[in-house]
């Protein structure tokens, strides 16, 4: 049987060296925008919705949000169209994690009172920010140059409605540079409903400035020509895509931390040998 006080002492020894702490500071929100444009022809009547939204900033936060929907009585029925786009970069009150979110969605719905044809459906959306700068700040007096690790994790996903036959092209991209040194880069593209986990890590240091570019693209295009419909038919088409994740800075254990951990493990072995 192990001697409990010695086990506790070994654990305390292994964890005795404190890890270096660091946090994010938003230095420059950069330039960002959200763009949405949707159009379709419903038996000759053109339905359209769209908007361009600029980035806004507050202390430690950068974001944009745009959304609208329209209801249009037409000769042959009634249409609803709408869109939304969102971008959020939040340093979470100066913590070790920065929350990142990009989202875009659009829809077109129709209730027919007479027979006709739907065609020329095209929806394009882009949400992006470039030149966004984050600095790694020592949280407990760490000197500039103290090694840290940066990780970017999250989930990119898309959901589509198939009222009209259409293709849905999605793209997500991240570029991170740090004072001219290697950073992290990621590019995803796919078509249709799916989800992708994201995980990128790289080495950095306290005091270093990171320059970020984030972008999200969604495009829906009608395929197979016009869609014939009859009086009384109802359908809804559209797509929604988002990326939700975090950029995290964490400590890199110093050499003496590893030495103490090994000492603690060695003490465990000694206890086991004597009690064996």
Report DSSP letters for the chain, one per residue. Answer: ---HHHHHHHHHHHT-SPPP-EEEEEEE--EEEEEEEEEEEETTEEEEEEEEEE-EEETTEEEEEEEEEEEEEETTEEEEEEEEEEEEEE-TTT-SEEEEEEEEEEEEEEEESS-EEEEEEEEEEEEEEEEEEEEEEESSSPPTT-EEEEEEEEEEEEEEEESS-EEEEEEEEEEEEETTB---EEEEEEESSEEEEEEEEEEEETT-EEEEEEEEEEEEEE-SS-EEE-TT-EEEEEEEEEEEEEEEEEE---HHHHHHHHHHHHHHHHHHHHH-
Predicted pLDDT at 255: 54
Predicted pLDDT at 276: 54
End-to-end CA distance of the chain: 8
Closest Cα partner for 194 from 155, 162, 220? Answer: 155
pTM over 0.75: yes
Residue in this structure with the two tokens 């590019």, named with its chain if needed: 187
Q: CA 9 to CA 6: how far, in whole Å?
A: 5
Alpha carbon 167 to chain centroid, angstroms? 23
List per-residue pLDDT tens for the chain, 276 residues long.
444 454 444 344 444 444 547 999 999 999 999 999 999 999 999 999 999 999 998 889 999 999 999 999 999 999 999 999 999 999 998 899 999 999 999 999 999 999 999 999 999 999 999 999 999 999 877 899 999 999 999 999 999 988 888 899 999 999 999 987 878 899 999 999 999 999 999 999 999 999 999 999 999 999 888 899 999 999 999 999 999 999 999 988 765 444 444 444 454 454 445 555
């Amino acid at each position: 049987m192990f001697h409990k006080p010695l086990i506790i002492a070994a654990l305390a020894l292994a964890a005795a060296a404190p890890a270096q702490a660091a946090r994010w500071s938003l230095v420059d929100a950069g330039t960002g925008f959200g763009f949405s444009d949707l159009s379709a022809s419903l038996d000759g009547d053109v339905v359209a919705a769209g908007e361009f939204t600029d980035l806004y900033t507050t202390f430690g936060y950068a974001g944009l949000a745009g959304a609208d929907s329209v209801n249009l009585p037409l000769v042959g029925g009634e249409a609803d169209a709408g869109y939304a786009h969102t971008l959020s970069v939040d340093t979470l009150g100066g913590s070790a994690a920065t929350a990142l979110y990009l989202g875009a969605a659009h829809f077109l719905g129709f209730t027919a009172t007479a027979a006709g044809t739907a065609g020329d459906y095209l929806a394009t959306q882009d949400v992006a920010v470039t030149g966004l700068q984050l600095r790694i700040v020592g949280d407990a007096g760490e000197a500039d140059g103290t090694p840290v690790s940066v990780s970017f994790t999250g989930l990119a996903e898309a959901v589509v409605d198939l009222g009209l036959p259409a293709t849905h092209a999605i793209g997500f991209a991240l570029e991170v540079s740090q004072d001219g040194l290697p950073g992290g880069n990621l590019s995803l593209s796919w078509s249709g409903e799916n989800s992708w986990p994201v995980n990128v890590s790289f080495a950095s240091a306290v005091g270093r400035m990171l320059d970020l570019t984030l972008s999200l693209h969604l495009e829906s295009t009608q395929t197979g020509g016009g869609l014939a419909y009859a009086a009384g038919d109802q359908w809804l088409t559209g797509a929604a895509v988002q990326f939700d994740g975090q950029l995290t800075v964490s400590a890199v254990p110093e050499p003496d931390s590893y030495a103490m951990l090994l000492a603690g493990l060695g003490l465990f072995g000694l206890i086991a040998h004597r009690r064996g």
